Structure 1
Amino acid sequence: MSIQAINVRNQFKGNIKEIIRGDVVSEVDVQTPWGIVTSVITTRSVDDLGLVVGTEVVALVKSTEVSLAKL
C-alpha cells in the first residue's frame, strides 16, 4: 500500500522504537530524526497494521489546536 496524496502537512518519517501494549490501547514510540513521537492507538490497530519494533512508519499529526508556552 502506498499513500498517493494526503492533506496532513506535519509528517514525521521514522521507525518504531517501542510498543507498550494495553488491553484496549497501546503507546507506539516512533524514533524520527527530530526526536521521538508517541502515538496512542488501539491495540487492534497495532495488530491489524502488523506494527513491531523496527517497522518504518510515517507519523501524521493533524490538530485543530496547538498550544504554546513562552519559556
Structure 2
Amino acid sequence: MKISARNQLAGTVTAITAGAVNGQIKVDVGGGNIITSSITEEAIADLGLAVGDKVTVLIKASDVLIGK
C-alpha cells in the first residue's frame, strides 16, 4: 500500500481505552515518547489492535500548533 503520509514512526501499543464511539490508543515510539491516537471502536476491532502489538504511527497534518 502506498500512502502520502511521510511521518511514520514504528512503535508498540501500550494501552487501549475503549469509548462509546472512539477509543484511545497509546503507542510507545521509543525515547520515552508516547503518541496517543483517537480512532473509532470499529477501526480498533477491524485492525485487531491489542496491547503489545507492533504498529506504525502515521502522521499527516497541515498544521502544527504550539501553545504556552
TM score, norm. by length of structure 2 = 0.88
Q: 2:34 aligns with which of 13, 25, 36?
A: 36
Name stretches of at least 5 consecutive residues in structure 1 with no aligned partner.
none
Name stretches of at least 5 consecutive residues in structure 2 with no aligned partner.
none
Q: 1:54 aligns with which of 37, 52, 55?
A: 52
Q: Segments of 4+ in structure 1 off by > 2 A?
A: none
Partner of 2:11: 14
Identity %: 36
Across the two proteins, how many residue pairs are aligned to each other? 67
Larger radius of gyration: 1
CA displacement, residues 18-59 of structure 1 (integer Å, 9 cap, x when unaligned): 000011000000011141011000011101110000111100
Q: Give 1:63 shift.
A: 0.5
User: What is the alpha-carbon root mean square deviation over aligned residues?
Assistant: 1.4
Q: Tell me the amino acid that sits aligned with residue 42 of structure 1.
A: T
